[in-house]
Amino acid sequence: MKYRYLGNSGLLVSRVCLGTMTFGMEGWGCDEAASIAITNRFIEGGGNFIDTADMYSKGIAEDFLGKAIAAHNRDELVIASKCWFRMNESPNAKGLSRKHILSSVEASLRRLGTDHIDLYQMHGFDSFTPLEETLRTLDDLVRSGKVRYIGCSNFFGWQMVKANSLADKLGLTRMVSAQHLYNLLRRDIEREVLPAAADQGMGMLCWSAIAGGLLAGKYDKQKGPEKGTRVGLRAAVDLPRYWNDDSFRIIDEVVAVAKETGVSAAQVALAWLLGDRRVTSVLVGAKREEQVADWLPAGDWDLPQELRDRLTNVVPFDHGYPREWMEMNWGNISGMEEFAPWEVDR
């Protein structure tokens, strides 16, 4: 397993992160015994980074994870969790208010059976709560030792920059990471979010890194998703998100590259993401222990650049304006310098 620093922090995390959304999930998830076995297999394979959230199965995922990590050295693990989603019908049991964050952290600590959370993330942006209130609360948690680092998930680029700028102005803890939907089939964050995260020194954590199993080559476009599969059970979400002709053109190429290189299609898809150094780690889940062996080797295997370029260009991605304008006019202000700026020469 290879490790990368989480943004501009001094924290090293495994390139592959175990996602626990399957833990306790009704229908397409796994039970307590399988959750513990999956966690053990991941840690034994060199993984030290595990991501969860209070809303995953309404706390059951954190409970299962707590039981799993009890058998391991807590100091060797990096445990991440999140809050934002409504947890019950109480008016304040949601969002990023001081009240909800503090109660959420305490509940997560109890379920996880630990005295601290290494990375605590805002699961979404809360437009109802002053950002200063949220950031001061998170800073208090860092100063108390209950939280070590903070990050966000599903933010716009401008929201990340605003949050860190406000933290700098007020002398509060900055975010070191961003967790967003990113894979070969959905590259939306390349337009604004990924550049903003890099500018802010925030490591990108990619959720749905193998697109719910599609990039592992598990689905047949003509037959459609089978009943009982994750995509089949989440058809209302995953079909509009992924199921189209362009996606299957990319999937076919991923499978072809996997055959050429002698690795699994999942490893190829994950390695494509990790070929960008702005990406710190890729999140992958499982509902059976044996599935871990399919993707865990991506933590130590790199996709040759020519193959990465080949996958990148299967379906051209339109970055739109203003990148289109900048590429058209960049030559007007460049050409006499020895080195291009980092965001141009990657």
Please identify every residue annotated as catalytic. Answer: 56
Angle (nearest 5°) at CA 313 between 308 and 314? 105
Q: Identify which of 200, 336, 314, 220 has the alpha carbon closest to the alpha carbon of residue 268.
A: 314
Residue 266, amino acid: A
How far is the C-alpha of 208 from the C-alpha of 247, rounded, in Å? 14
Q: For residues 264 and 259, what is the distance between their CA atoms, to the nearest angstrom?
A: 8
d(CA 46, CA 3): 10
User: How far is 313 from 318, CA to CA, in rounded Å?
Assistant: 11
Q: How far apart are CA 45 and CA 299, in angstroms?
A: 9
> Using CA atoms in the order 215, 217, 219, 223, what is the torsion angle rounded to 10 degrees?
130
Distance set, CA 95 to CA 114, 130, 141, 152 (Å): 23, 11, 17, 13
Listed in sequence order, the residues at least 6 apart from 233 whose beta carbon sits closer than 8 Å to its beta carbon are: 27, 28
With H, G, I as helix, E, B as strand and everything else as coil, classify residue 292.
Answer: helix
The DSSP letter of residue 173 is P
Q: Distance between CA 121 and CA 124 in Å, rounded? A: 9
